[in-house]
């Protein structure tokens, strides 16, 4: 979605790109402006009740969200960066906007439990977004197609359905729903910080800007200790 804010940001970027040396520092200062609550990030009220440490960083994504798929390489690199911070924990948190779509969250946790995220997670995501699924008129139809997809990727139907319905996967799927609802997430992709803040590309204006905003919020919380 192109908004007036995006157009203004684009115009400002064009001016800075063509700036004389005398204007360079001014442009840099404008681009590094202080973050604004309600604009660049959202304060979660009431905050989600988490321990102070580790600082939890939730990546809210949906397999049905094309913007999330585009954001994946950026957030994945950020997750690798956070591994160097012993007091920060990155948590992938799938979102299903209604119970009919809960199976997609269950897919994530099933692949995780079967140690198949590394080779199936992205192919599955691409399949969901880029293939024609006109026959997906019911949860049963979705489940059948997913089962067939997993079969084409070496997972037997019995093994898949057993894992999908396992206590662990069902519990994690329910917890994921509670988490995004407690945060008040209303769009994906979004990044939750410590149960206190949310930032997102659609708030900041760019994917990289959302990561920078997440870094700033993490640093703010670390300074409070």
CA separation for the pair 211, 22 (Å, rounded): 29
Instruction: Please identify which residue in the block is written with the tokens 């992205």.
Output: 122
Sequence-distant (≥ 6) Cβ neighbours of residue 124 within 8 angstroms = 63, 107, 111, 149, 153
Instruction: Confirm if 108 and 121 have CB atoms less than 8 A apart.
Output: yes
Task: Using CA atoms of 38, 27, 189, 134 in order, give the dihedral in degrees to the nearest 10.
Answer: 120
- Regions of the chain short of the pLDDT cut 50: 1-19, 21-30
- How high is the pLDDT of residue 34? 85
Structure-token pair, residue 124: 């599955």
Helix/strand number for the chain, H first, E second? 10, 5
For 63, the enclosing helix (H) or strand (E) is none
Structure-token pair, residue 59: 């990546």
Complete domains list, the chain, with CATH: 1-33 (no CATH), 35-224 (3.40.30.10)
């Amino acid at each position: 979605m192109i908004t007036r804010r995006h157009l203004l940001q684009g115009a400002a970027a064009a001016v800075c790109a063509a700036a004389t040396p005398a204007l360079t520092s001014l442009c840099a200062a404008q681009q590094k402006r202080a973050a604004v609550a309600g604009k660049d990030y959202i304060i979660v009220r009431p905050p989600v009740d988490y321990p102070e440490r580790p600082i939890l960083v939730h990546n809210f994504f949906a397999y049905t969200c094309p913007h999330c798929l585009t954001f994946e390489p950026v957030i994945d690199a950020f997750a690798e960066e956070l591994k160097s911070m012993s007091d920060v924990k990155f948590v992938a948190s799938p979102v299903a906007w209604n119970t009919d779509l809960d199976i997609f969250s269950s897919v994530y946790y099933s692949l995780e439990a079967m140690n198949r995220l590394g080779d199936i997670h992205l192919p599955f995501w691409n399949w969901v977004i880029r293939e024609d699924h006109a026959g997906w008129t019911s949860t049963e139809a979705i489940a059948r197609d997913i089962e067939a997809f997993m079969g084409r990727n070496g997972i037997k139907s019995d093994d898949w359905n057993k894992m999908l319905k396992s206590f662990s996967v069902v519990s994690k799927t329910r917890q994921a729903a509670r988490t995004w609802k407690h945060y008040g997430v209303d769009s994906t992709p979004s990044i939750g910080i410590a149960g206190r803040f949310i930032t997102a590309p659609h708030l900041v204006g760019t994917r990289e800007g959302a990561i920078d905003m997440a870094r700033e919020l993490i640093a703010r919380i670390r300074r409070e200790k």
